[in-house]
């Protein structure tokens, strides 16, 4: 005699509404003028400092928990204090312009506005360092063809 059986399970996730959620809030926003800074073509060792301007258009304070560049050549700075509703602030970024060639780098922001990180982008091209034009100096003294 062969006996077979199966069990059907129906599981549902129930989230109680009276339990406070994480500190992410839907009443906080971070709205950027632009999420891309284009350096264009810049000279070798030029000033690599730029800024991203943003506004908290929500009704609660905005906190930027972290800002991280995609590599050591892109260094972000950000306000450590809360950004009040309606206030405007800046994320500073400095790209190392001693690196020659085209570049596209990102800055990842962790905020209380969303569980998803905000991705900012910097791009451009750094020209090579100018080559110094030096001509060899001609020695005219002591040459075998020198006439006295």
Q: Where in the chain are the domains? A: 31-126
Span 31-126: which CATH code?
2.60.40.10
Per-residue pLDDT, 61: 96
pLDDT band at 11 (very low <50, low <70, confident <90, very high): very low
**DSSP label at residue 62:** B
**DSSP-derived 3-state class of residue 49:** strand
Output the pTM of the full model.
0.71
Q: Which residues contact 93 (CB under 8 A, 6 or more apart)?
A: 37, 49, 50, 51, 52, 69, 74, 75, 76, 77, 107, 120, 122
- Mind listing the pLDDT tens digit for each residue in 96-108? 999 999 999 999 9
The larger pLDDT score, comparing residue 117 to residue 142, is at 117
3-state secondary structure at position 137:
coil
């Amino acid at each position: 005699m062969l006996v077979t059986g199966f069990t059907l399970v129906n599981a549902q996730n129930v989230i109680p509404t009276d339990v406070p959620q994480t500190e992410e809030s839907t009443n906080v926003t971070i709205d950027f003028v632009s999420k891309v800074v284009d350096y264009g073509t810049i000279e070798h060792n030029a000033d690599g400092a730029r800024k991203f301007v943003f506004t908290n258009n929500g009704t609660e304070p905005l906190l930027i928990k972290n800002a991280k560049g995609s590599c050591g050549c892109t260094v972000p700075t950000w306000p450590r204090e809360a950004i009040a509703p309606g206030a405007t602030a800046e994320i500073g970024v400095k790209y190392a312009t001693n690196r020659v060639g085209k570049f596209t780098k990102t800055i990842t922001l962790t905020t209380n506005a969303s569980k998803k990180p905000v991705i900012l982008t910097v791009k451009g091209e750094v020209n090579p360092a100018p080559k110094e034009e030096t001509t060899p100096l001609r020695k005219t003294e002591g040459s075998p063809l020198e006439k006295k």
